[in-house]
Structure 1
Amino acid sequence: MKIWKAAKLDFKLLKYYYKSICFTLLIPLVFILLYRTLVVGISFAMFMMAMSSIYTFSVADKNNMQRLYRVLPISVEELVCGKYLHVFLMGLLAVTVSSILQPVILGLLGISAAIPEIIMAALAGMVLYITYVCFQIPAYYKFGPIKGRVFMYVPVAGILLTMFVVEKADINTSLLFSRIAENRYLGPCLLILYLAVIVVISIRTSVRITEKKEW
């Protein structure tokens, strides 16, 4: 599958950033020691990983890989979809690591985290992550990794807002997640619809931007 091959190419480009990726995965474990709230901890992990979505764009720009892309037997749509697949898989890696290690740290601090709370916090983190990168990627395609670097900080607004709401509003995240879980259909349907809409719009925007460039 050409989309998967395009995603694998992006994974190979990340070899220049292995240390940074490891740092990105580990620093949220320190962050949760301060806030001791799973939803904030996982959201911060996704914020960190979203900021790293610029890495493959930077490597491609430094090595002038547009020449390679032009000769590859792959369409613009497949190349762009491969980019999104790669970014989403990186998000899945981050949320998996965080969902395993952060509850362990909270347990050592004497704070229990129920399985439903972990699942809901992970889902919330992925929703935030997908929202972040769906804004970032078209901007990177449009402006490049240098001029578009400002969009790398889009997640900052998201994580600050999450921290503010959880802390200032004194939200009981366990109670909130249990209330959401009570409605088996409305919440999931709205969530799937939201994600589908922003992903489709983001991919189409990125494809149009890329097609307008020299290819």
Structure 2
Amino acid sequence: MTNILKLVKLDFALIKPYIKIIFIALLSPLIVMYTMRDIISGTIFCMCIMAITSGYTFSVVEKNDLNRLYGLLPVGRKDIVSARYLFIALEGLILNFIGVSANAIILTILKVNFTFSDILIGFSVGHVVYYFFTAIQLPLFFKFGGIKGRFFSFLPFLGIFSISEVAKRMSTDKLAELSSIAIINNPYGILILSILFGILSYSISVGISQKIFSRLE
């Protein structure tokens, strides 16, 4: 575990010069939050944008030929994979918190009413969106690298577009059936489910990435 934490610190040191770029990437979601005036929709869009940033660390390592550095470290490849996932997971938590907080501030300024339950649901949905897309992206980044794998950074947009198209085609009756499910009306239940979803999706994704990375020369 000590090696993994040290690798997380190394990843943070590598991405630190790009933190400004990540925060600049938050500007477009803030504009969308202003126009949507809905904490859940705004957070979904925000975390889609933030999921794209998961490839930054891979790109920095590849551009600066730092794979040799990682190869010289007295750590196993599984530790490198686990540390990268932990770093990106922590990044997602922080960005989700910032996104939801910014959304709440914007809505307060606009005098749009929202509740604490709305905040919990927004955070939970943002959590699911970020961890779902990064769980898909990360094995692809380990396989193809940050530069060749840049195409996969746009998967969140494709996913959200697909979800929105499906939602548009759902009948009012179907939507009413979904809203009648008890867990959907329980913000704490949704939060717990989102956490369990994140753990499950990352557990599967980590296993896939470790197999991919262990086979690379």
**Structure 1: distance between partners of 2:140 and 2:201:** 14
Alpha-carbon distance between aligned partners in 1 of 2:166 and 2:105, rounded to the nearest angstrom: 24
Alpha-carbon distance change, 33 to 163 in structure 1, aligned in 2, over 3 angstroms = farther
How far 1:10 sits from its partner (Å)? 0.9
Partner amino acid for 1:131? F
Give the % identical residues: 33
Are the structure 2 counterparts of residues 5 and 177 from structure 1 closer, same or farther at C-alpha, using a change threshold of 3 Å? farther
Q: Which runs of 5+ in 2 are unaligned?
A: none
Q: What are the superposed Cα offsets for residues 74-126 of structure 1, whole Å, 9 maximum, x if unpaired? A: 11111111101111111111111112121121122221110011011111101
Equivalent residue, structure 1, for 2:211: 208
Q: CA deviation at 1:137?
A: 0.6
**Matched residues in 1 for 2:187 and 2:29: separation?**
31
Are the counterparts in 2 of residues 40 and 162 from structure 1 also a CA contact under 8 Å? no
The answer for the alignment partner of 2:65 in structure 1 is 64
**Alpha-carbon distance between aligned partners in 1 of 2:92 and 2:199, rounded to the nearest angstrom:** 16
Tell me what 2:114 maps to. 113
1:196 Cα deviation after fit: 3.2
Query: Scaled by the length of structure 2, what TM-score is found?
Result: 0.86
**1:86-105 to 2 correspondences below 5 Å:** 86-105=87-106
> Do 2:120 and 2:188's aligned partners in 1 also have CA atoms closer than 8 Å?
no
- CA 47–112 in structure 1, closer or farther in 2 if over 3 Å, else same: same
Aligned to 1:180: 184
1: CA distance between counterparts of 2:115 and 2:122? 11
Distance 1:167 1:131 in 2: 21
**Cα contact 1:49–1:90 (8 A) shared by 2:** no
How many residues of Structure 1 are paired with residues of Structure 2 in the alignment?
211
TM-score by length of structure 1 reads 0.86
Aligned to 1:156: 157
Deviates more, 1:163-172 or 1:1-10: 163-172
Indicate the SS of the match to 2:26: helix
Whole-angstrom distance in 1 between the partners of 2:30 and 2:188: 31
**Any conservation in 2 of the 1:25–1:97 contact (CA below 8 Å)?**
no
Larger displacement relative to structure 2 (22-31 or 58-67): 22-31
Cα RMSD, aligned residues only: 2.7
Which runs of no fewer than 5 residues in structure 1 stay unpaired?
none
**Corresponding position of 1:137:** 138
Mapped contact 2:124–2:191 kept (Cα < 8 A): no
Alignment of 1:29-40 (within 5 A): 29-40=30-41
CA contact (8 A) 1:40 1:163 kept: no
State the 1:55 CA deviation: 0.7
Cα distance in 1 between the residues matched to 2:23 and 2:100: 16
Amino acid at match of 2:88: V
1:10 is aligned to 11
CA apart distance, 1:18: 2.3
Match of 2:198 in 1: 195
